[in-house]
């Protein structure tokens, strides 16, 4: 019988063995169909491999097979007797960092891989910086391919120490960091404990993931419900959306932003009917005591904890477009269910994720750069800072011409916490 849910994200450089690790987790937890296993075994035998190539279980896209890399976020599901997992399998290539940002944005825990022969790489440090910026509550480093260094303890400990030092420099506490020596190809310390690492007395990767209790991401701001739809009938009007933070009960006083009109909740509807209370994550349809001009894009918030309406904010962005971001850029900003015009008047700093320093007043932000910017929006929006509430502190910058995503962003200065700058 399964119990609670853990959302995972996996990341690592190309050829660190990420697909093999994910395949090993699926295979050893018996989370794949027998015909899929048979196909992998046949393919591996035809290639003359000594071990089944479990990466074939996850490299399902034709383009991935052709390129030999993972190019998109793929969500995998598996379960043990103790826990259910949703795993966001992200690509390793540097040009697909946007997919890593996407996968990490909702993760409770991250598993980073590195090849024991190569140690902590530039891409490892980049992924670690993204996890720190997004506030991922915990990190496990899988020191993979240890079979290729004869399960050498000193090699593992050298990689471990460098990784832990770098992670702590980014603000992770020691109790948020775990490292596991393993060989995903042979199955050592992934699900089953290996007798080839007698010097290691920690948990296997799966044992650790079954027990990890991540910190709650920031959400202590009271009720937040971005309105997605207005439901109308002859004598009925309700405002549908997901509870992004807090809770709501009939009788609660709320405010509708940006207009600022106040009212009282008369009913909390759900797909299963009216309830006495709904909490974060639940879809709801709220009816109010007053006839207010509420529309898609508005935010229903607790009347005693109202977010600030702001037309200008400091923000941290991860730039995901080929065309560099320069001061004066005009884009669209998507916050919750509202989209508004936005201008970027200045670039305050660029984050060097390798040296962990801020470069002030950069000329531009290039693809995959993380930086601090100023934003001006055409319509004042009800922002929370990202550290206070992930759901209402995050936003996207969108190309007004093509509609493609240019950047993932957070309201507030999350980089100073990472670099120690004040």
Calculate the dihedral angle through the C-alpha atoms of 315, 320, 324, 327, rounding to the nearest 10 degrees.
-20
Sort 366 into a burial class: Cβ within 10 Å, 0-12 / 13-18 / 19+.
Answer: middle
| Confidence (pLDDT) at 66 | 47
Q: Report the pLDDT averaged over residues 332-357.
A: 89
Question: CATH 3.40.50.300 residue ranges in the chain?
Answer: 5-211
What confidence tens digit (pLDDT) does each residue in 254-272 have? 999 999 999 999 999 999 9
The chain-wide mean pLDDT, for the chain, equals 86
Residues 6+ apart with CB under 8 A from 261: 255, 290, 292, 293
pLDDT at 69 over 50: no
- Per-residue pLDDT tens digits for 294-326: 999 999 999 999 998 999 999 999 898 889 999
So what's the pLDDT on residue 62? 43
CB atoms within 10 A of CB 364: 15
Q: Quote the CA–CA distance of 322 and 48 in Å, as a whole number.
A: 41
Q: Tell me which CATH code domain 224-302 carries.
A: 2.40.30.10
Burial 239-278 (b: 16+ CB within 10 A, else e): bbbbbbbbebebebebbbbeeeeebebeebbeeeeebeeb
Helix (H, G, I), strand (E, B) or coil at 74: strand
Q: How far apart are CA 308 and CA 291, in angstroms?
A: 24
* CATH ID of 308-418, from 3.40.1400.10, 3.50.50.60, 2.40.30.10, 1.10.10.10: 2.40.30.10
Record the tokens describing residue 238, joined without a space. Answer: 């309700």
| Mean pLDDT, residues 146-171 taken together | 94
- pTM for the full model? 0.74
Average pLDDT over residues 283-301: 93
**Six-digit token string for 70:** 């993972």
Higher-confidence position of 112 and 59: 112
The percentage of the chain sitting over the pLDDT mark of 70, rounded to a whole number, equals 91
Q: Where in the chain is the domain with CATH 2.40.30.10?
A: 224-302, 308-418
Class level of CATH domain 5-211 = alpha beta
Q: Which of 85, 88, 107 is nearest to 96 (CA)?
A: 88
Q: Give the model's confidence band at 70: pLDDT under 50 very low, under 70 low, under 90 confident, else very high.
A: very low
As a whole number of angstroms, the distance between CA 402 and CA 84 comes to: 38
Q: What is the mean pLDDT of residues 180-201?
A: 94
Ranked by mean pLDDT, which of 28-42, 47-61, 127-141, 213-227 comes out on top? 127-141
């Amino acid at each position: 019988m399964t119990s609670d849910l853990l959302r995972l994200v996996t990341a690592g450089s190309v050829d660190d063995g990420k697909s093999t690790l994910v395949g090993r987790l699926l295979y050893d937890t018996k989370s794949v169909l027998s015909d899929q296993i048979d196909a992998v075994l046949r393919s591996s035998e035809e290639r003359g491999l000594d071990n089944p190539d479990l990466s074939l279980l996850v490299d399902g896209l034709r383009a991935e097979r052709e390129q030999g890399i993972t190019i998109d976020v793929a969500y995998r599901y598996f379960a043990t007797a103790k826990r259910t997992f949703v795993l966001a399998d992200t690509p390793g290539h540097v040009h697909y960092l946007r997919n890593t940002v996407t996968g990490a944005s909702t993760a409770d825990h991250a598993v980073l891989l590195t090849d024991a022969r190569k140690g902590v790489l530039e891409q490892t440090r980049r992924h670690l910086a993204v996890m720190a910026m997004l506030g991922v509550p915990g990190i496990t480093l899988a020191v993979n391919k240890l079979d290729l260094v004869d399960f050498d303890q000193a090699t593992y400990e050298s990689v471990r120490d460098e990784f832990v030092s770098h992670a702590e420099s980014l603000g992770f506490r020691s109790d948020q960091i775990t490292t596991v020596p393993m060989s995903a190809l042979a199955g050592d310390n992934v699900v089953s404990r290996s007798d080839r690492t007698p010097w290691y007395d920690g948990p296997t990767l799966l044992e650790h993931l079954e027990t990890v209790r991540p910190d709650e991401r920031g959400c202590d701001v009271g009720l937040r419900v971005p309105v997605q739809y207005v439901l109308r009938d002859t004598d009925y009007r309700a405002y549908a959306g997901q509870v992004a933070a807090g809770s709501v009960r009939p009788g609660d006083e709320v405010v509708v932003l940006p207009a600022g009109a106040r009212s009282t909740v008369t009913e909390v509807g759900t797909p299963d009917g009216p309830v006495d209370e709904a909490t974060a994550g639940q879809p709801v349809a709220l009816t109010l005591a007053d006839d207010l001009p509420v529309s898609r894009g508005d935010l229903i918030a607790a009347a005693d904890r109202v977010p600030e309406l702001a037309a200008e904010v400091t923000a941290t962005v991860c730039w995901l477009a080929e065309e560099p971001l320069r001061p004066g850029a005009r884009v669209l900003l998507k916050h919750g269910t509202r989209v508004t015009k936005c201008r970027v008047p200045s670039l305050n700093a660029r984050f060097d994720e390798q040296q962990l320093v801020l470069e002030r007043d950069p000329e531009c932000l290039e693809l995959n750069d993380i930086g601090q910017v100023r934003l001006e929006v055409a319509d004042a929006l009800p922002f929370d800072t990202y550290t206070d509430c992930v759901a209402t502190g995050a936003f996207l910058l969108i190309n007004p011409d093509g509609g493609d995503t240019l950047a993932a962003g957070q309201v507030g200065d999350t980089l100073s916490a990472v670099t120690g700058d004040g």
